């Protein structure tokens, strides 16, 4: 490549500035875990590789004005992409996917939550853009370079060589990187944010065509796996214990198990939920994990109703709301149950109006069913106490038996609550999010206690079972420093992070008298088969990936959507296998009770990892291919 008059092409300057900026973002705005010097090197070079690939395209424009316009607008769009990922990451510790961009209808409802994630120093992201804009508009003569055809070909060839070198290093550092696309941090860390987004487009395009070409031939293999690895022919002792009773399901927003039987500033955080752990009519599962991904609350709903895994990218409620499913409401309808959802929010949020129809939910009581005023609402809408209070009248009007789900709102990021509604003081740490989390959790706890009392007063309590489930985490990994302070730890390790994905799960059966705290490793994938078992409903021909939580023959692990897992003995995360009891990597465990050779310890997690990957793949096949349309289920 020959440069006229020893000029430096503007695309080279743009590449250098953009590469430096992106690397700074990687290191200081994304919480990317680097395990060795090779990962540091790859993280440093990939933004420059991506930037060169993007900006070098400008050499193919014959007119200088078009070259300059391309560089200007490309730098703006690329910076907006970085900024969007930063804001998204601050809330979810994750990166944007194409399916989430299709969920743009949710953005109008996010409102204030998005602004709380922006920082004044974010404007510095656009400093190089302004500089490039100035140079390309007012100093064009200094950077105008006429490229011969050889120069253009050389620029293209160099781009591809650099990209290939980046991918080669990435594959050496993380073998089979592209087969584990659900681990977005590894993709960004190894191939860069921009190449990740290009890869995401390719994956999304492939997924979009999967339904078109699906013909149902995959079903026998999936059924065979489920029959041999998931299902149990043995009924639990709890089978049919709640036959004919109403099911009242409370989807508790953003609560995590670390608040149960715990204190802040010397006060109990959840006194009512704490009391339920000792209640003789209540089963409390202390090792119950949420399994949601980017769809958060909607993912938890999908898991509960279908016992299928959510997708690794986007929300099933948006991307596959027109699919056919054999959901819980459809199955229990055959036993005379009607199904209802109460949620004082817009019916289009998370595309519920369409998805609920596919799930065969009979009635949705959205925001139009409630009286919402400035006085009784905060943050995302109607506060939990008036929500439950107003719901009782609707509940009393329903024909029994019914399955009714209540989705709370108040304990939602950014965890706002008026002073008059606070019963405990906020925590004091470097994280406003964690500080405000405790008062809103207490408020939700009080609202659930109030709801129990209202059910009793309305005569609905005795003939119902009440299930309470946390839908997903409230405090992301972005607040690990504050969380370690609260928990009294030096740091939050990958093992600790997985344990923080535990959410409360209660099954309250009035008059049962045999409740207890159970340590069973379980998750949201297990809720559907558990409810069916409690109601005494058999559904042998269905395809699902969970087990009745009371079963003695259930599988001994729970898979998270990112490929991590928790078993009776181990936790697998971040490429490490940990002893679940001690938190030590298994090849460093000194527990004498583990009668396992060193070589076996080092590979202890491998067999379950293979099962987890297989289950996630089969579940994805069912959703992407809309395979339930090919399955004839017994009436």
Q: Which amino acids are annotated catalytic?
A: 297
Q: Is the dihedral of CA 191, 573, 297, 630 positive or negative?
A: positive
State residue 267 phi and psi, 5-degree precision. Answer: -115, 145
Contact 446, 382 (CB under 8 A): no
**Separation of alpha carbons 340 and 452, rounded Å:** 18
The residue with tokens 């080669």 is 168
C-alpha distances (whole Å) from 313 to each of 99, 296, 297, 333, 498 are: 6, 11, 14, 31, 20
**Separation of alpha carbons 146 and 56, rounded Å:** 13
Q: Tell me, letter by letter, the H, E, C secondary structure of 347-382.
A: CCHHHHHHHHHHCCCCEEECHHHCCCCCCCEECCEE
DSSP assigned state of 62: S
Helices 184-191 + 193-213 axis angle, to 10 = 130
**Separation of alpha carbons 104 and 568, rounded Å:** 40
- For residue 382, the cross-strand partners are 377
Closest by CA to 253, choosing from 443, 99, 89, is 443
575: Cβ contacts below 8 Å, ≥ 6 apart: none
379: Cβ contacts below 8 Å, ≥ 6 apart: 112, 409, 410, 412, 414, 415, 416, 417
Q: What one-character-per-residue DSSP string does 251-304 give?
A: EETT--GGGTT-EETTEES-HHHHHHTT-TTEEEETTEE----TTTHHHHHHHH
Q: Euclidean distance between the first and final Cα of the chain, in Å?
A: 71
- For residue 350, the cross-strand partners are none
Contact 235, 389 (CB under 8 A): no
- Enumerate the H helices of 93-217 as residue ranges: 98-101, 107-110, 112-115, 127-138, 140-143, 149-173, 184-191, 193-213
DSSP assigned state of 182: T
Structure token pair of residue 184? 């977005």
Contact 444, 486 (CB under 8 A): no
**Separation of alpha carbons 556 and 612, rounded Å:** 12
Q: Considering just the CA atoms, what is the radius of gyration of the chain in Å?
A: 27
Do the strands 381-382 and 377-378 form a parallel or antiparallel pair, or are they unpaired?
antiparallel
- For residue 415, the cross-strand partners are none
Q: Is the dihedral of CA 321, 323, 324, 328 positive or negative?
A: negative
Virtual CA dihedral for 476, 527, 438, 582, nearest 10 degrees? -60
Closest by CA to 503, choosing from 478, 528, 472, is 472
């Amino acid at each position: 490549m020959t440069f006229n008059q020893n000029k430096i092409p503007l695309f080279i300057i743009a590449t250098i500035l953009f590469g430096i900026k992106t690397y700074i973002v990687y290191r200081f705005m994304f919480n990317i875990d680097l395990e060795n010097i090779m990962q540091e090197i790859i993280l440093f070079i990939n933004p420059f590789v991506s930037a060169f690939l993007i900006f070098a395209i400008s050499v193919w424009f014959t007119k200088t004005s078009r070259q300059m316009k391309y560089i200007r607008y490309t730098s703006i769009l690329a910076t907006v992409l970085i900024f969007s990922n930063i804001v998204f990451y601050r809330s979810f510790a994750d990166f944007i996917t194409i399916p989430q961009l299709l969920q743009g209808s949710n953005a109008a409802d996010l409102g204030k939550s998005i602004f709380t994630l922006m920082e004044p120093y974010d404007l510095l992201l656009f400093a190089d853009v302004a500089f490039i804009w100035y140079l390309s508009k007012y100093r064009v003569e200094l950077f105008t370079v006429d490229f011969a055809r050889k120069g253009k070909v050389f620029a293209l060839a160099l781009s591809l060589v650099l990209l290939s070198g980046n991918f080669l290093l990435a594959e050496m550092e993380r073998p089979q990187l592209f087969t584990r696309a659900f681990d977005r941090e590894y993709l960004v860390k190894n191939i860069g944010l921009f190449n990740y987004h290009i890869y995401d487009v390719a994956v999304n395009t492939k997924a979009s065509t999967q339904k078109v070409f699906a013909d149902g031939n995959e079903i026998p293999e999936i059924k065979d796996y489920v029959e041999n690895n998931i299902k149990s022919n043995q009924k639990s002792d709890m089978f049919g214990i709640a036959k004919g009773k109403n099911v009242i399901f409370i989807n508790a927003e953003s609560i995590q198990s670390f608040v149960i039987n715990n204190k802040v500033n010397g006060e109990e955080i959840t006194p009512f939920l704490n009391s339920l752990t000792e209640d003789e009519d209540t089963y409390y599962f202390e090792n119950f994990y949420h399994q949601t991904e980017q769809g958060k609350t909607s993912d938890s709903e999908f898991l509960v109703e279908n016992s299928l895994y959510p997708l690794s990218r986007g929300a099933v409620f948006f991307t596959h709301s027109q699919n056919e499913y054999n959901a819980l409401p459809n199955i229990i309808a055959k036993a005379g149950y009607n199904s209802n959802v109460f949620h004082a929010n817009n019916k289009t949020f998370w595309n519920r109006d369409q998805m609920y129809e596919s799930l065969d939910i009979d009635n949705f009581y959205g925001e139009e069913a409630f009286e919402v005023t400035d006085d009784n609402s905060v943050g995302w809408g109607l506060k939990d106490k008036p929500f439950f209070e107003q719901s009782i009248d609707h509940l009393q009007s329903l024909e029994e038996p019914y399955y009714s789900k209540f989705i709370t709102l108040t304990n939602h990021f950014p965890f706002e609550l008026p002073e008059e509604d606070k019963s405990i003081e906020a925590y004091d740490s470097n994280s406003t999010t964690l500080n405000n989390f405790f008062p809103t959790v207490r408020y939700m706890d009080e609202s659930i206690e109030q709801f129990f009392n209202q059910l009793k007063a309305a005569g609905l309590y005795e003939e119902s079972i009440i299930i309470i489930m946390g839908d997903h985490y409230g405090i992301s990994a972005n607040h690990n420093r504050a969380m370690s302070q609260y928990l009294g730890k030096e740091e939050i390790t990958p093992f600790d992070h997985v344990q923080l994905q535990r959410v409360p799960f209660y099954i309250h059966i009035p008059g049962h008298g045999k409740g207890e705290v159970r340590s069973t490793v379980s998750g949201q994938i297990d809720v559907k088969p558990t409810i069916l078992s409690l109601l005494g409903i058999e559904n042998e021909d269905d395809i699902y990936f969970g087990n009745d939580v009371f079963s003695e023959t259930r599988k001994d692990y729970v898979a998270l959507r990112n490929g991590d897992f928790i078993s009776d003995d181990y936790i697998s995360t971040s490429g490490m296998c940990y002893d679940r009891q001690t938190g030590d990597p298994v090849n460093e465990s000194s527990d004498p009770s583990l009668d396992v050779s060193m070589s076996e310890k080092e590979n202890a997690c491998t067999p379950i990892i293979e099962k987890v990957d297989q289950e996630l793949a089969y579940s994805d096949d069912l959703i992407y291919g809309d395979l339930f349309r090919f399955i004839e289920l017994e009436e």
